[in-house]
Structure formats: structure tokens, C-alpha cells
């Protein structure tokens, strides 16, 4: 039987392992942490359960696809429901606005709460749908590094649509046509979903907004952790072998062919290797003597985040599963993150409260607040000082907007920040999404899902094509598996 080794048990590594096992390979997964899931894991803080990493779940069909294409019934492994009211936005002037996948409901909300014409919103939502339908399948479902990806009808159609895709305008330039500053802020925020700056990133990233406002938000039955655990169980059922607490030291290369890995000084040989590690770490640590794709590795890193996991001894009915407390100056916030490598005194705050949907995530009468602000990746900052500043700013802003004294209700607390992100997930400089998309072509020129110079070496996960985020990482696993022929 042919063998495959997967380095890393993040969601992309788990999906790649399951897919390859179903294609006839005996797959072994080596993971340096003692659990499966990578960033998509959970923690307990006192009596409160938190999804430790990703909190927004779009395109659940990409999860279901992993099971069905491996010959299993998705419902035997994974359950979820769609969320009607997607996100509630709060501003300092007392404005509250909810977003919906239903364009009629969203338009009415815009007209009622912002007292402005909703026609530009409808046009923007339709434009973002057009962008997704034009390039989504090409970008998410195929390698952009193989000629065959560009010799088909879908690609030809996308090329013909380029003049209408606004590739060479920034997200902010295009979104400014919404006129109302609060709507511009709302649509610009989608850049943060892959760690980018809307004032620099190409407006093609507006298609991310379609995933949420056009296709909707889902919630797994037991929280986001269910996603990784369901795919982990699938892999186990298929026969994948897992080795936790085993940090890979080297990818064994012989005559430009990947032959296996070294773990604790011992060689583990295989017919092919799939790397689900941060690609920068892979080249620097696992293949230090291999030729490096310098242009890719030197691209600017994405932003990172500080998360305060707060067990709140109180219920706030005005808050939803997803909430955003908006900054008063978006331009200053993004300038601080991406240019000054620090944070503003008035950051946008995202609060995810899974206890609104998952019974048992918080004690009765309480809520589990995943409270996040976007911050720069590691560049020699004083992180203790930044974290302290962020906590004070976050508490002050929440108190102003909710007219409360939130600190008195915090009975459990933990912090997740760039140094911990780098240490736990081996993400270079603590960036959450690998490279940023802060150039006109950055979103399209991530590292490929295969090595041009090393045979039998493949890459999946958020640091390579097509990028970060749950459905996108699952796409990278599919791209890799589709490249590899069935085992004979």
C-alpha cells in the first residue's frame, strides 16, 4: 500500500488526510500539539467553554463535501444550523444595525436604522455576488499555479469579466460608493477576515462579503470545535493514524524528491508528504537547505489578533452570536495595524458569544465572550504594553456603548495573543492568515499547493493558496487531494 505523511492536524491537514486515505493511501499525521484541530480548537476558562480560534462559519457545504467525497454521510458526523441575524453592529452615537443574508431584511434595516437609501447596498451585494460567481470557483477550487486551470470555459469567462471586477481599485475605493460612512465601514471590515487592509487590498476581496451576506452564516451544533472534531473522527474511521505530541524536525529530501520526515531523530518514510504547516516555517525549519521561493516568503504578513476570553456573570440580550463595536476612525485603525505596527486607542471590537446558541457553553445566566481586536503581527513590539492598552480600551468602549461596567461581571479570563499564536501554531510572526492581501495581486499569488522543485511534496492550509479561513483551508485540502492520483 502506498503511504502518505501529513504534517500538522489543522483543519486542512485533517481534510487532506481523510481524502488521501479514501484514495487508497495509508496516511499518518504528525502533530506537535497534543490534539487535532490546529487553531480550530477549544479551551475551558473556569466554567466557560470557548472556541479558541475561528468563530465565523461560512459555506458549511465545504465541510459536508469532505464526508460525502470520502463515502460517508455528513449527517452521521456533523450538524449545524443557519443563523438568521448575522451580526449586530454598534457605534458610539447609539446606532445599532443588524446584517442579514436576506437582502430585503437587510435593506429595510439599513433604511430604518441609518435613514438612508438602501439601493447602493443592494447594488453592492449584487456586485459582490457577481465577483464571487466570476472567480470564486477558479480561486477556491483550483490551483492557480497549473496551466490546466486556465484552459477552460470558467477561466475564459472570468478573463472576459476582468474589466468589471474592479481588480485595480482598493476595497475602500469601491465601498466608498455606498456613500454612508457606516456602510463603508461595515463592508470594509470584510478585509479583516483574511488579515488585510481595505485601504490597500484589491476590491476583489469584496467577494468575501458575499460568503456572509449572500450565502449566510452557519453555527455548528456544539460550537466551531465540532468542525475539526468531526473531520478528525472521519479520518479515524477511515483508518488514518495520528501521532500527537510529535514535532517534525525535517522533511527528508533526496535528489529533489520528498521521501518522508524526521521526528525525534527517527526517519519516517512515505511515498508523498503533505505539509499543513505555515509555509514560512516549513522552508526555514523543515527544509533549510532547499531552494526558497523568496518572493512569496518575503510578502507582508497578515494581521494578528488579541482575544480576551471572558466568562461574563450576566446576560446581555442586546448582543447576538456575532457583534462588532465599530471604531470612530477606520483609516487610523488600519494605519496603526499595518503601517505603525501598533493599535489605536479606539479599536474595532468583535465579540462572539456561542452560549447564545450552544447550551452549556456558559453557566445559567452567564455568557462566554470571545472578545477580539485586530493587531499587527510580531515586529519587536512590547506586547505586554499593547495587551494592557487593548484591554483598557476594549473595556472602556464596551462600557460606553452598552452603558454598563463590564469588568465587575468578568469572573473568568484568559488571553490569546500573537506570541502565543506563534508558539502554539508555529505561524510566522504570529500572523493569523499567513501573508496579507495588501497588494493588487496578493490574494492570487500565495504559495502553490505543490512544490515546483521537489517531487511528491504538497502544501495545504491558511498560509498557501487559496488562503485562510475554514472553507478556504478545506479548499486547499481538496486541491491537494485532486492533484494526487489514487493509490494503486
The pLDDT, as a whole number, for residue 120 is 97
The pLDDT, as a whole number, for residue 237 is 98
Query: What is the DSSP annotation of 282-324?
Result: IIIII-TTSPP-HHHHTSPBPPEEEEEEEEESS--TT--SEEE
Residue 212 lies in a domain: yes
Give yes or no for a cis peptide into 24 (omega within 30° of 0): no
d(CA 341, CA 306): 14
pTM: 0.94
The three cell numbers locating residue 117 = 437609501
Residue-range definition of the domain harbouring residue 154: 82-221+301-425
Gyration radius from the chain CA atoms: 22
d(CA 134, CA 342): 36
The pLDDT, as a whole number, for residue 141 is 65
Per-residue pLDDT of the chain (488 residues; tens, 9 = 90+): 999 999 999 999 999 999 999 999 999 999 999 999 999 999 999 999 999 999 999 999 999 999 999 999 999 999 999 999 999 999 999 999 999 999 999 999 999 999 999 999 999 999 999 888 887 666 666 655 554 544 555 555 555 455 566 667 899 999 999 999 999 999 999 999 989 999 999 888 898 999 999 999 999 999 999 999 999 999 999 999 999 999 999 999 999 999 999 999 999 999 999 999 999 999 999 999 998 988 888 888 999 999 999 999 999 999 999 999 999 999 999 999 999 999 999 999 999 999 999 999 999 999 999 999 999 999 999 999 999 999 999 999 999 999 999 999 999 999 999 999 999 999 999 999 988 888 766 666 688 999 989 999 999 999 998 888 899 999 999 999 999 999 97
Q: How many domains does the chain have?
A: 1
d(CA 246, CA 226): 23
Residue 22 lies in a domain: no
d(CA 116, CA 108): 10
d(CA 333, CA 342): 9
Residue 448 lies in a domain: no
Q: List phi, psi (to 5°) of 98.
A: -105, 140
- In terms of DSSP H, where are the helices of 41-196? 61-69, 103-114, 119-141, 153-160, 171-175, 181-188
Residue 8 lies in a domain: no
Residue 389: in which H helix or E strand, if any?
A: helix 383-402
Residue 368 lies in a domain: yes
The three cell numbers locating residue 407 = 469588568
How crowded is the C-beta side of 155, counted as CA atoms within 13 Å? 14
d(CA 204, CA 457): 30
Starting at the earlier edge strand, list the strands of the sheet with 96-100. Answer: 96-100, 85-90, 322-325, 349-352, 367-375, 304-312, 410-416
Task: With beta carbons less than 8 A apart as the criterion, state whether 246 and 31 touch.
Answer: yes
Calculated CA dihedral for residues 114, 119, 122, 124, nearest 10 degrees: -90
Residue 398 lies in a domain: yes
d(CA 471, CA 57): 8
Residue 327 lies in a domain: yes
The three cell numbers locating residue 131 = 465577483
The three cell numbers locating residue 232 = 478528525
Burial (CB < 10 A; 0-12, 13-18, 19+), residue 122, is: middle
Q: Is 77 helix (H, G, I), strand (E, B) or coil?
A: coil
Nearest to 365 by CA among 312, 314, 310: 314
The pLDDT, as a whole number, for residue 389 is 97
d(CA 476, CA 175): 29
The pLDDT, as a whole number, for residue 242 is 98
Residue 171 lies in a domain: yes
State the CATH number of the domain containing residue 308.
3.90.660
Other beta carbons less than 10 A from residue 147's beta carbon:
7
The pLDDT, as a whole number, for residue 147 is 47
The pLDDT, as a whole number, for residue 143 is 57
Task: With beta carbons less than 8 A apart as the criterion, state whether 66 and 223 touch.
Answer: no
Amino acid at each position: 500500500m502506498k503511504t502518505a505523511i501529513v504534517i500538522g492536524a489543522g483543519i486542512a491537514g485533517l481534510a487532506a488526510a481523510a481524502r488521501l486515505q479514501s484514495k487508497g493511501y495509508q496516511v499518518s499525521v504528525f502533530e506537535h500539539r497534543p490534539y487535532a484541530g490546529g487553531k480550530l480548537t477549544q479551551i475551558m476558562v473556569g466554567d466557560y467553554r470557548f472556541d479558541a480560534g475561528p468563530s465565523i462559519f461560512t459555506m458549511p457545504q465545504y465541510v459536508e463535501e469532505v464526508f460525502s467525497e470520502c463515502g460517508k454521510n455528513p449527517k452521521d458526523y456533523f450538524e449545524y444550523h443557519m443563523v438568521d441575524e448575522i451580526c449586530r453592529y454598534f457605534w458610539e452615537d447609539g446606532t445599532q444595525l443588524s446584517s442579514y443574508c436576506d437582502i430585503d431584511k437587510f435593506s429595510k434595516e439599513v433604511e430604518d436604522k441609518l435613514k438612508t437609501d438602501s439601493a447602493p447596498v443592494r447594488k453592492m451585494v449584487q456586485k459582490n455576488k457577481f465577483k464571487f460567481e466570476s472567480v470564486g470557483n477558479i480561486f477556491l477550487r483550483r490551483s492557480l499555479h497549473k496551466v490546466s486551470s486556465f484552459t477552460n470555459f470558467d477561466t475564459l469567462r472570468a478573463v472576459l469579466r476582468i474589466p468589471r471586477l474592479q481588480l485595480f481599485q482598493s476595497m475602500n475605493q469601491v465601498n466608498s460608493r455606498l456613500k454612508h460612512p457606516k456602510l463603508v465601514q461595515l463592508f470594509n471590515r470584510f478585509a479583516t477576515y483574511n488579515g488585510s487592509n481595505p485601504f490597500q487590498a484589491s476590491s476583489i476581496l469584496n467577494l468575501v462579503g458575499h460568503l456572509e451576506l449572500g450565502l449566510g452564516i452557519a453555527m455548528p451544533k456544539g460550537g466551531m470545535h465540532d468542525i475539526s472534531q468531526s473531520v478528525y473522527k472521519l479520518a479515524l474511521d477511515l483508518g488514518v493514524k495520528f501521532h500527537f505530541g510529535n514535532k517534525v524536525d525535517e522533511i527528508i529530501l533526496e535528489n529533489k524528491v520528498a521521501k518522508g520526515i524526521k521526528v525525534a531523530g527517527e526517519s519516517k518514510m512515505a511515498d508523498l508528504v503533505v505539509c499543513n504547516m505555515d509555509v514560512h516555517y516549513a522552508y526555514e525549519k523543515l527544509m533549510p537547505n532547499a531552494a526558497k521561493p523568496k518572493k512569496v516568503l518575503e510578502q507582508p504578513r497578515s494581521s494578528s489578533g488579541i482575544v480576551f476570553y471572558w466568562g461574563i456573570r450576566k446576560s446581555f440580550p442586546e448582543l447576538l452570536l456575532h457583534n462588532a463595536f465599530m471604531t470612530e476612525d477606520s483609516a487610523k485603525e488600519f494605519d496603526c495595524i499595518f503601517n505603525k505596527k501598533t493599535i489605536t486607542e479606539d479599536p474595532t471590537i468583535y465579540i462572539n458569544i456561542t452560549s447564545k446558541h450552544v447550551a452549556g457553553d456558559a453557566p445559567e445566566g452567564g455568557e462566554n465572550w470571545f472578545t477580539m481586536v485586530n493587531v499587527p503581527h510580531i515586529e519587536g513590539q512590547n506586547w505586554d504594553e499593547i495587551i494592557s492598552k487593548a484591554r483598557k480600551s476594549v473595556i472602556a468602549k464596551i462600557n460606553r456603548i452598552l452603558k454598563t461596567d463590564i469588568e465587575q461581571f468578568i469572573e473568568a479570563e484568559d488571553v490569546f495573543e500573537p506570541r502565543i499564536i506563534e508558539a502554539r501554531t508555529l505561524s510566522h510572526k504570529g500572523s493569523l492568515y499567513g501573508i496579507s492581501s495588501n497588494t493588487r495581486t496578493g490574494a492570487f499569488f500565495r504559495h502553490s499547493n505543490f512544490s515546483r522543485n521537489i517531487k511528491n511534496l504538497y502544501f495545504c492550509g491558511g498560509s498557501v493558496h487559496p488562503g485562510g479561513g475554514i472553507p478556504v483551508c478545506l479548499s486547499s485540502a481538496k486541491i491537494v487531494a485532486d492533484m494526487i492520483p489514487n493509490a494503486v
